[in-house]
Amino acid sequence: MVEKSGGLKEWIIPFAFVFCAGWAIWHAPAYILDLWPHDDTTSLTVQISEIHKRKDVTPNLPGLFGGVADIVDWAALLLLPFIFYLGAKTIVLAPMEFQHHTRLDKIAMFVGRIVMILIISMTSVMLYEVFVRYALEKPTLWANELTLWIGGFVFMLSGVYAMQQRSHIRIFILYDIMPRWLQHICDIIWVALLWFFAICLVFGSYKQVFINKFYKWQTFGTAFDPPIPATIQPTILIVICLIAIQALLNLFADWHRDPSELIEKDVVDQEELEAIKKSVGAS
């Protein structure tokens, strides 16, 4: 019996990951103070400590082992790899997804499920803001920036999933008329260029990103003051590395595959089209 996609676990597991990741990111100053204490014990340490005190969701819980992060903070952080493994292991392919995959591809596929939950979360925040602003006339100070923050993660993480699904923009005019051996050369060249770009980007900016942005926990400087610079910029480097790795995995997986199998997703899915017609009442 073929397991159908869209089950309850495909919602609960990525939602649990997003919740734990959100908690860990929001309380990252506590981890920084505990795991990577600053040499400057005055201004910078005090600054990050103040940020943590203002943002701490559970201020009454004591820190573990004499540190700053409490038991909830550590539980959220330690659950992340377990939930991610469970989510990747229990992936069920949807009919419209690329059907040929390896075990490592499930990492990118679960990232796609995380993006799904992030999109729902972002939409919910926007709907809440519209309601309280126009119905109750009590606009929030955080909804717009939270939407931008989540949208940044959606934009970047969806690139990993798009690479695994072979759904990125490609031009086949010249590629299709090439013999297979020349197509292999083109594939190697573009993957090599992607790796070159990723290496240059990481090598050229990792100090600026991880020391000046993440390590100092740079925030947005507004009333809500989310740590957008401290989180989005490191995510850019992490995601470009994941995309480069996924491109290499695709190269190995597609080496002996017929090119027509890789562009099959560009053809209109008749079953999906019929379902859309029925939903709108079209004949």
Say if residues 155 and 235 touch (Cβ distance below 8 Å): no
- Contacts with 18 (C-beta within 8 Å, 6 or more apart), sequence order: 114, 117, 118, 121
Q: Which residue has the tokens 């480069």?
A: 244
| Distance (Å, whole) CA 231 – CA 235 | 6
Say if residues 117 and 96 touch (Cβ distance below 8 Å): no
Sequence letter at residue 99: Q
Residue 189 located in a structural domain: no
- Of 52-56, 94-98, 155-159, 249-253, the one with minimum mean pLDDT is 94-98
Q: Which domain holds residue 75?
A: 1-92
**Three-point CA angle 232, 12, 131, nearest 5°:** 65
Q: Which residue has the tokens 């920036």?
A: 145
Q: What's the token pair of residue 107?
A: 């990492």
Kindly report the length of the chain. Answer: 283
Q: Which residue has the tokens 């995380």?
A: 114
Residue 279 located in a structural domain: no
pLDDT at 137 over 50: yes
pLDDT digit string, tens, across residues 45-82: 888 888 899 899 999 899 888 889 999 999 999 999 99
CA distances from 181 to 124, 238, 251 (A): 49, 32, 13
Residue 16 located in a structural domain: yes
| Distance (Å, whole) CA 54 – CA 107 | 35
pLDDT at 281 over 50: yes
Residue 102 located in a structural domain: no
Residue 228 located in a structural domain: no
Residue 112 located in a structural domain: no
How many domains in the chain? 1
| Distance (Å, whole) CA 67 – CA 37 | 11
H helices present in 104-258, as ranges = 105-134, 143-164, 180-207, 228-253
Residue 15 located in a structural domain: yes
pLDDT digit string, tens, across residues 230-278: 999 999 999 999 999 999 999 998 888 776 666 554 445 566 667 777 7
Residue 197 located in a structural domain: no
| Distance (Å, whole) CA 232 – CA 9 | 28
